[in-house]
């Protein structure tokens, strides 16, 4: 008989910050981590960078703050 351990739900949902490698849980999105708005990589709160961008649409232009990772900040 062979016993195969099943990892618990939290382990299965573990997400790693693309910048510092810190582990985060899927249910903590918006609290402890978020996704880079350009490359979609998960980033923890302390690695988040904020960048202002001009958004243009047919009614008006406005400044919007986008959350990005370190790699994407350097690109811009
Ligand atoms: Zn991080
Ligand atoms: Zn990014």
Q: What is the pLDDT of residues 20-35, one digit of tens each?
A: 999 998 889 999 999 9
Domain-embedded: residue 1: no
Number of domains in the chain: 1
Domain-embedded: residue 18: yes
Distance 37 CA to ligand 2 centre (A): 7
Residue 47 domain boundaries: 9-72
Distance 60 CA to ligand 2 centre (A): 27
| pTM of structure | 0.69
Contact 44, 20 (CB under 8 A): yes
Q: What is the mean pLDDT of the chain?
A: 86
* Per-residue model confidence (pLDDT) at position 14: 75
Distance 25 CA to ligand 1 centre (A): 13
pLDDT band with cut points at 50, 70 and 90 for residue 7: low
Domain-embedded: residue 24: yes
Give the ligand with the smallest distance to the CA of 33.
1
Cα-Cα-Cα-Cα dihedral sign, residues 46, 21, 32, 37? positive
Domain-embedded: residue 64: yes
Segment 38-49 mean pLDDT: 94
Domain-embedded: residue 33: yes
* Per-residue model confidence (pLDDT) at position 74: 75
């Amino acid at each position: 008989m062979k016993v195969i351990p099943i990892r618990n739900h939290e382990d299965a949902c573990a997400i790693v910050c693309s910048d510092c490698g810190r582990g985060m849980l899927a249910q903590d999105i918006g609290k402890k981590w978020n996704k880079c708005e350009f490359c979609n990589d998960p980033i923890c709160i302390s690695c988040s960078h904020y960048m202002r961008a001009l958004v243009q649409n047919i009614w008006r232009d406005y400044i919007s703050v986008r959350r990005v990772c370190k790699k994407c900040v350097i690109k811009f």
